[in-house]
Structure 1
Amino acid sequence: MKFRFLLWALGLLMVRASRNNPEFQQQLADKALTFQLQTADGKIARHYIVHEQRVRSVAGMVEAPAFAIAFKDAAYGFATLQATNKQLAFMQGIQNKDIQIKGNPALVIWFQDLTRYLKPRKKG
Structure 2
Amino acid sequence: MKFRFLLWMLGLLMVRASRRNPAFQQQLVGKDLVFQLQTTDGKVARHYVVRDQRVSSHGGTVPSPAFAISFKDAAYGFATMQAKNKQLAFMQGIQDKNIQIVGNTGLVMWFQGLMKYLQPRKKK
* Superposed pair shares fold, TM > 0.5: yes
Give the TM-score normalised by structure 1.
0.98
For these two proteins, the number of residue pairs brought into alignment is: 124
Aligned counterpart, 1:18: 18
Equivalent residue of 1:23, what SS? Answer: helix
After superposition, give the CA deviation of every residue in 1:59-83 in whole Å (9 maximum; x if it has no partner). Answer: 0001100000000000000000000
Aligned counterpart, 1:69: 69
Aligned counterpart, 2:54: 54
Alpha-carbon deviation of 1:122?
A: 2.8
Identity of aligned residues (%): 74
Alpha-carbon deviation of 1:121?
A: 1.9
Query: 2:24 is matched by which residue type in structure 1?
Result: F
Q: Which runs of 5+ in 1 are unaligned?
A: none
**Cα RMSD (Å):** 0.6
Query: 1:49 is matched by which residue type in structure 2?
Result: V
Aligned counterpart, 1:34: 34
Equivalent residue of 1:62, what SS? Answer: coil
After superposition, give the CA deviation of every residue in 1:8-52 in whole Å (9 maximum; x if it has no partner). Answer: 000000000000000000000000000000000000000000000
Alpha-carbon deviation of 1:103?
A: 0.2
CA distance in 1, matches of 2:122, 2:108: 27
Aligned counterpart, 2:97: 97
Give the TM-score normalised by structure 2.
0.98
Aligned counterpart, 1:122: 122
Alpha-carbon deviation of 1:120?
A: 1.2
CA distance in 2, matches of 1:79, 1:14: 20
